[in-house]
């Protein structure tokens, strides 16, 4: 099989497959966790950064979660992850969430084979080929930093609260509205962390940044203002009338 070289990291819920059902092919590395909800989006992005070709997340199909809703939490994380991975320039299909019922007869080997053939067309991870474009590294790092930052994590953690129960004003957020919001925030966070990484090495102006990321200077400025408020970035110096910004150390 052509996908033999593809290295798949599989995060697996402890309860989904019995030991006897898990025959693990050599290209798959299984990490058993107590619950799929345990998987931090940062970990998945880091796995990619360290050279995995694809990540498979195996958990129990609702409603059979040993921890009531760990699988739903994993679903939410994957939804966000796919967005981040796409922004970073990787194929979102490289992440697969597989929810199977723990009660059915099933074969782990079958699922891994299927996934291997699905990702065969993407080729090896750009991180493994070497000779990476610096742009690409910045993108993946930005995605990782965004995933480990406060805002996205709070949003993810509070999704249930926001969409399923009413807030103090008696309002309830429809699921679709939340998805739009998530999309927006993921994009914002990603771009902010990208700016943060770019200005780390040398101070840059709004115009420079707009050119690098192909955005309107006005949009860039809006993010910069927010970033200054969050102490991510600070004014470094002014050349003529153009202010130059430099990243601040976050935490």
Partner 1 sequence: MANINHTNVKKFPPCRTACPAHVNVQGYVSLLQRGKFKEAVELIRKDMPFPAICGRVCFSPCEDACARTNVDQAVAIRALKRLVADIEREQGRVTPKSIPKKHSEKVAIIGAGPAGLTAAYELAKLGYPVTVFERMSENGGMMRYCIPDFRLEKFVVANEIAYIKDLGVEIKTGVEFGKDITLESLRNEGYKAIFIAIGAQQGMKLNVLGEDLEGSINAVDFLRAVALGEHINVGEKVAVVGGGNSAIDAARTAKRLGAKQVMILYRRSREEMPALPHEIAEAERDGIEFYFLVAPKQIIGENGKVKAIECLHMRLGEPDASGRRRPIPISFSEHQYKVDTVIPALGQIAEMSCLPEEFLDKEARMPSMQVDPVTLETKMPGVFAGGDIATGPASIIEAVGAGKRAAVSINLYLIGRDLREGREGNIEETTWVKNWGHIRKKERRYDSPLEKPRLSFEEAKEYLKNIEQKAMFEAFRCLGCGPCAECLGNLELCEADKAVVDEGLCTGCNVCAVVCPFGAIKKNEKEVAQVNEDLCKGCGICAARCPEQAITMKKLPNEQMMSLALATAKE
Binding site for partner 1 (CB under 8 A): 7, 9, 11, 14-15, 18-20, 29, 31-35, 37-43, 46-47, 50-52, 63, 66-70, 73, 77, 102-103, 128, 148-151, 153-154, 156-158, 160-161
Q: Which of 162, 204 has the CB closer to partner 1?
A: 162
Burial 73-93 (b: 16+ CB within 10 A, else e): bbbbbbbbbbbbbbbbebeee
DSSP state of 102: T
Q: How far is the CB of 39 from partner 1 (least distance, A)?
A: 6
Q: How far is the CB of 176 from partner 1 (least distance, A)?
A: 22
Q: Which of 25, 92 has the CB closer to partner 1?
A: 25
Q: How far is the CB of 117 from partner 1 (least distance, A)?
A: 19
Q: Which of 154, 238 has the CB closer to partner 1?
A: 154
Q: Which of 160, 202 has the CB closer to partner 1?
A: 160
The answer to whether the beta carbons of residues 247 and 199 sit under 8 Å apart is yes
Whole-angstrom Cα distance, residue 189 to residue 143? 8
List 11's β-bridge partners, or say none: 31, 57
Q: How far is the CB of 139 from partner 1 (least distance, A)?
A: 20
Q: Which of 79, 246 has the CB closer to partner 1?
A: 79
The answer to whether the beta carbons of residues 95 and 48 sit under 8 Å apart is no
Q: How far is the CB of 196 from partner 1 (least distance, A)?
A: 17
């Amino acid at each position: 099989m052509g996908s033999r070289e593809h290295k798949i990291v599989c995060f697996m819920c402890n309860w989904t497959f019995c030991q006897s059902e898990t025959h693990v092919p050599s290209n798959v590395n299984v990490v058993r966790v107590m619950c799929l909800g345990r998987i931090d989006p940062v970990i998945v992005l880091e796995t990619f950064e360290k050279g995995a070709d694809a990540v498979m997340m195996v958990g129990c199909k609702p409603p059979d979660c040993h921890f009531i809703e760990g699988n739903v939490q994993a679903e939410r994380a994957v939804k966000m992850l796919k967005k981040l991975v796409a922004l970073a320039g990787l194929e979102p299909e490289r992440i697969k969430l597989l929810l199977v019922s723990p009660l059915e007869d099933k074969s782990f080997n079958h699922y891994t084979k299927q996934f291997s053939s699905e990702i065969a067309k993407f080729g090896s991870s750009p991180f493994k080929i070497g000779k990476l474009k610096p742009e690409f590294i910045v993108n993946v790092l930005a995605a990782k930093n965004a995933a480990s930052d406060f805002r996205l994590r709070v949003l993810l953690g509070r999704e249930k609260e926001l969409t399923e129960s009413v807030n103090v004003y008696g309002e309830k957020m429809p699921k679709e509205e939340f998805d739009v919001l998530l999309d927006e925030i993921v994009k914002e966070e990603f771009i902010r962390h990208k700016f943060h990484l770019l200005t780390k090495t040398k101070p840059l102006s709004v115009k420079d940044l707009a050119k690098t990321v192909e955005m309107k200077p006005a949009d860039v400025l809006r993010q910069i203002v927010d970033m200054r408020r969050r102490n991510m970035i600070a004014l470094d110096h002014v050349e003529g009338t153009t202010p130059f910004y430099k990243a601040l150390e976050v935490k």
